[in-house]
Amino acid sequence: MGRGKRIVFDPFSLDLANECLWRGSQAIKLRPKAFAVLDYLLERPGQLVTKEELLNAVWPGTFVGEAVLKVAVHQIREALGDDQKLPRFIETAHRRGYRFIRPVAESGQSLSKEQEIRSNNSASDPAQNGGIQGVVERDRALSRMRSSLDKMLAGERQIVFVTGEAGIGKTALVDTFARSIASDRNIRIGRGQCLEHYGTGEAYLPVLEAIGRLGREQRQVVDVLRTHAPMWLLQMPSLVSVSDRELLTREVFGATRERMLREMGAALEALAAEMPLVLVLEDLHWSDYSTVDLISYLANQRQAARLMLIGTYRTVDVIVSAHPLKAVKRELLAKQQCEELPLEYLSKEGIAKYLAVRFPDQVFPSNLAELIHERTEGNPLFMVNAVDYLVAEGLISESEEGWRFVAKIENLEVRVPDGIMQLIEKQVDHLDANQQRMLEAASAAGAEFSTLVLVEALEEDLTLVEARCDELARQRQFIQDRGVHIQPNGEAVSRFGFIHALYQNVLYERLHASRRVQLHRRIGGHLES
């Protein structure tokens, strides 16, 4: 490619004459050597450029190590907002060099149709980049989110719930989706987080956080709030002056809760009319009830709006706490006013893909992924923590030939992350005393158990025990139905099993030694008889 004055790679351009990086009309600072490295890569789009070649080109006649090059590439990635694990611009070829993967054109030229398609695909579907750390086996969910985004861009408002248990990868999925559309300057993204609270939480907390952030970044958001939602603007004192707050206080005096709903509905629609808006609200299982009311209000409005609301929550926490979100989601699903994306555990193949992406040029035992899956049962957070533990212990290490597993595979042990242990403990604490006693007895019986075993262990009525098991299994709390087992005497008994071995382990650890002995004695006596 000949040398023009400017090289364009959407949404950036490199000004060669003035040695400056631009994003639209915004100039982005880049140090001279980092600029030179980027320029060299842009001259060879799609080609592997070795580290030695870059060092010779940018630091000619100077003895420098690879660390200097790594620093320059890190500076470029920071300037572009690129992620080494989710590259949209610069891809690392392990131990060899770098490759610029975004379509490139000179100023005055336009991208070919093929380049545009490739560019759009790489931005909208990160899974096409070979699998991303933490989001393997989420292609279908990402595709459905992209489909919802397309509907939103056409004017059909969208409510999407991403659900699953702790550690299943809800935030990782939403982060990946958000990054895939972040380079589109015609989409506004706001994010808010619900916080666990004891007692009454602040009304509309995650929405206030999301809109407040947007207001600090984009002044026009404040203007929209001033016009359409003065009550909301009053809740964000950092966005207005003292004198404005006094005027707003007089204006909204005596306003009602219903007015707050109408105001935010009008404000979000006004913002979406200016520019499509994606609003992400995380951990809705901790949300205040007013936020749930707002979600229902937005979903039930029939006028067109380029608005997409994405909410994440833990299914079990919503059930255990009897949170109103459960009823609202069920109603919206029945009226086809929302979409739910429940996330499942990773398969053995998914874990193998994760290892292949995280450890390029690795030579691992063929059954390593299978063993990690066996120990973690495919919980993404547990799996990532388990692999981090193996790296920290030196069981997975890097050599000149690549990554190696340096222990005996049959001796592989995986430590349960403390954070997940604590989450399970909190879920157990939300159960009533009878449910806790029953699950603790089940943990002593094994990964699978019959209701007759629990009857003997607890010395309780079969009808009560089966009713508790059915309720927990129906709500997918800790256990699941494993069908009916026919006893040698011809009697049919219900069987259940723990959803995850972690649940059994945590519940068993809660038992005092004397209680364990008592339960094992009763269970053993039943099995013997």
**Contact present, 159 and 295 (Cβ < 8 Å):** yes
Gap between the Cα atoms of 158 and 147, Å rounded: 10
Tell me phi and psi for residue 434, to 5 degrees: -65, -40
At residue 265, the pLDDT reads: 92
**Contact present, 313 and 285 (Cβ < 8 Å):** yes
Question: pLDDT truncated to tens, each residue of the chain (529 aa)?
Answer: 444 578 888 788 898 888 889 887 778 888 889 999 999 999 988 888 999 899 989 988 777 778 889 889 999 998 898 887 778 889 888 778 898 988 887 654 444 433 443 444 443 333 333 334 447 889 899 999 999 999 999 999 999 999 998 888 899 899 989 988 877 668 999 999 998 765 556 788 999 999 998 998 888 999 999 899 888 888 888 888 887 777 777 776 666 778 888 999 999 999 999 999 999 999 999 999 999 999 999 999 989 999 999 999 998 888 877 899 999 999 999 999 999 999 998 999 999 988 988 887 788 888 899 988 888 888 888 888 888 878 878 888 887 778 888 877 776 666 666 667 777 888 888 888 999 999 999 999 998 999 999 998 998 899 999 999 999 998 888 899 988 877 777 777 889 999 888 888 889 988 999 999 999 988 888 777 7
Please name the helix (run of DSSP H) or strand (run of DSSP E) that holds residue 524, with its range, or none: helix 513-528
Pull the structure tokens for residue 132: 């991303």
At residue 117, the pLDDT reads: 37
Tell me phi and psi for residue 453, to 5 degrees: -60, -45
Name the β-bridge partners of 311.
161, 281
Gap between the Cα atoms of 3 and 37, Å rounded: 16
Report which residue type is found at 524. G
Gap between the Cα atoms of 89 and 453, Å rounded: 59
* Inter-residue long-range contacts of 434-439, CB under 8 Å, 24+ positions, other chains counted: 434/468, 435/468, 435/472, 438/465, 438/468, 438/469, 439/472, 439/478, 439/479, 439/503, 439/507
Gap between the Cα atoms of 411 and 346, Å rounded: 23
**Contact present, 427 and 472 (Cβ < 8 Å):** no
Alpha helices (runs of H) in 2-138, residue ranges in sequence order: 32-42, 51-58, 66-80, 113-124
Pull the structure tokens for residue 153: 């861009």
At residue 221, the pLDDT reads: 92
Distances (CA, A) of 151 to 96, 194, 281: 42, 27, 20
Q: Among candidates 148, 467, 79, which has minimal Cα distance to 310?
A: 148
Please name the helix (run of DSSP H) or strand (run of DSSP E) that holds residue 188, with its range, or none: strand 188-193
Report which residue type is found at 49. V
Distances (CA, A) of 316 to 21, 49, 114, 322: 48, 49, 45, 10
